[in-house]
Amino acid sequence: MLSIELILSKAKGPERRIGIGVAGDMDKVEASVSIAKASKFGDVKLFTNVEEMVKELRNGQLDAAIRGSLDANLTLKTIKREFAVDHVSRMAILQPRNGHMFFFAPVGVDEGRTVAQKVEMVVSGAALMRRIGVEPQVGILSGGRKGDEGRDPLVDRSLQEADEVVARLSSLGINAKHYQILIEEAAKECNMIIAPDGISGNLIFRTLHFLGDGKALGAVVLNIDRVFVDTSRAKSSYVDSIAMASAMVGSAKLGH
């Protein structure tokens, strides 16, 4: 079962080289690094320059990196340039208040626009989950219920696309189900949830995290061959994000 306890158990590895960015909130970042080091989550290094951190990650001088409080747009642009990708695809790790933890995407407003992009996210996310010993149970969301078909072309297209995503994932051996607009049911049964698009995904993320007092460990970048965890500057601590990055590194080294 996906849980913070599982992640923490996979995060022990004082030799793992982890970078974290800082561009404000120095006390918060330093306190997080101190706790992470004491917990043996890795040898954590602070970076004020995002280009330096991403280059060290790309070159293998770091095993993982975390955005921390660095600027979001500059960080994403630097990742795209240094890793030669035309977009950055991310999957967040969320735990609603009084609920269980799940992977969630898309979280960027320009992500997950097509069936192919959503399938790519799930396949990459499933590989990450399996690396930490969790078998994905995927819930695909859409913009309405089946009974709403015919009311609006956008809703119809959303329902059709969700069915197509499920069909493609099933053909790849991934357990996926179309939950329509019933996110509350998906959250009970699934450890990965896919929103209809990046705008609705970003709104769901913000509602659960900022208004609903849910936990957000960060968002793992899916389409690069290194571990990078994107984070919000609004987080009160980065310890769980450092642990997540360390767990991903450790599981990769163990060949999970």
Domains of the chain listed by start with CATH number: 1-85+224-256 (3.40.50.10950), 93-215 (3.40.718.10)
Is 245 a residue whose pLDDT tops 50?
yes
153: number of Cβ within 10 Å? 8
Task: Supply the pTM of this predicted model.
Answer: 0.91
**Which tens digits make up the pLDDT trace of 166-219?**
999 999 999 999 999 999 999 999 999 999 999 999 999 999 998 999 999 999
For helices 72-83 and 50-58, the axis angle rounded to 10 degrees is: 30
| CA dihedral over 37, 40, 43, 48, signed as positive or negative | negative
Inter-CA distances, 122 with 127, 213, 221, 232, Å: 8, 26, 12, 22
**Which tens digits make up the pLDDT trace of 17-46?**
999 999 978 899 999 999 999 999 999 999
How far apart CA 198 and CA 250 sit, in angstroms, is 30
Lookup: tokens for 230: 């994107």
Q: What is the pLDDT of residue 192?
A: 98
Which residues contact residue 173 at a Cβ distance below 8 angstroms, ignoring those fewer than 6 apart?
none
* 252: confidence class by pLDDT, cuts 50, 70, 90: low
- Asked if residue 244 lies in contact with residue 256, where contact means CB atoms within 8 angstroms, the answer is no
How far apart CA 86 and CA 84 sit, in angstroms, is 7
**Which tens digits make up the pLDDT trace of 131-155?**
888 999 999 999 999 999 999 999 9
